[in-house]
Amino acid sequence: MLLSFIILDNDMLMPGPITMQLLEALLPLFDHEKEKKALKTPLRQSLLPLFFHCHDEKRLVAQASQETLLGVAEFLKRRDLERLVKRQNLWMFSECLLAEDRSRAAEHLRRALPYLRSPQESLRAAAIRFMGMAGRHLRGKKEELQLICTALEPLTEDISSGVSDVALETLYVLRALQSERYSLFQRLQDQLRRAWRTRPRLAGLGWLRCCSSAES
């Protein structure tokens, strides 16, 4: 499945070194099961490119990406990621990816940068949103935040108004983080996100039951 994804789209933006690592790691598996351990690192590195291609405008590419993403999560025994892919909750998937190891946020950002130049509007918008999420995990790291802001500035004049609007909104938040101004409203947003993620553990609280009935 992974090999078919790699050759499916000639315009895919998965970095060349990662593609080669995947191919080199995959081929021995056809004869040697013990080589599975060698796959873990390149497969972890493939999670973000696969996530982006789930937003591909080509339906077959998006579908293959999501199927492969699920397969990779299963291989890595990441049941939390599996559940999110199955529910098609891809943005919570990316949040989970960032939250699991904040030290890798800068690494994820470097992998996201090429997607800002994608000819596809959907991939550019997805990359901007992801970089905004990553920026919140880089609070206090001014150099990394400046790198994101510099990369996003040209997109404020994107040919697509949808992309330019997302870029402007993201820049506003990131510049606030960069100058260490973090508003009460933004803190409240983060608290609400954390509360939502812990919702199953709080199911016995009356206020949450009211919220759940209102949602249904």
Together in a domain, 141 and 177 = yes
Residue 202 lies in a domain: no
Together in a domain, 122 and 91 = no
Band the pLDDT of 34: cuts 50, 70, 90.
low
In whole angstroms, give the CA distance from residue 186 to residue 190: 6
CB-based contacts of 141: which residues, under 8 Å, 6+ apart? 106
Band the pLDDT of 211: cuts 50, 70, 90.
very low
Band the pLDDT of 17: cuts 50, 70, 90.
low
In whole angstroms, give the CA distance from residue 49 to residue 29: 22
Mutual orientation of helices 36-53 and 59-75 as an angle, nearest 10°?
150
Tokens representing residue 27 in the block = 């081929």
Residue 20 lies in a domain: yes
Q: Would you say residue 21 has pLDDT above 50? A: yes
pLDDT of residue 204: 39
pLDDT tens-digit map of 62-109: 998 999 899 889 888 888 899 999 988 888 988 888 887 666 777 888
Together in a domain, 42 and 94 = yes
CB-based contacts of 93: which residues, under 8 Å, 6+ apart? 51, 69, 81, 84, 85
Percent of the chain with pLDDT over 70: 66
Together in a domain, 8 and 47 = yes
Q: Would you say residue 200 has pLDDT above 80? A: no
pLDDT of residue 52: 93
Together in a domain, 2 and 96 = yes
Is this structure's pTM higher than 0.75? no
pLDDT tens-digit map of 130-154: 988 888 877 777 788 888 889 999 9
Count of structural domains, the chain: 2
Domain of 110, in residue numbers = 105-187
pLDDT tens-digit map of 161-180: 999 999 999 988 888 877 76
Together in a domain, 92 and 113 = no
pLDDT of residue 3: 60
Phi, psi (degrees; rounded to nearest 5) at 181: -100, 110
Together in a domain, 10 and 82 = yes
pLDDT of residue 32: 59
Amino acid at 31: D
Q: Would you say residue 195 has pLDDT above 70? A: no
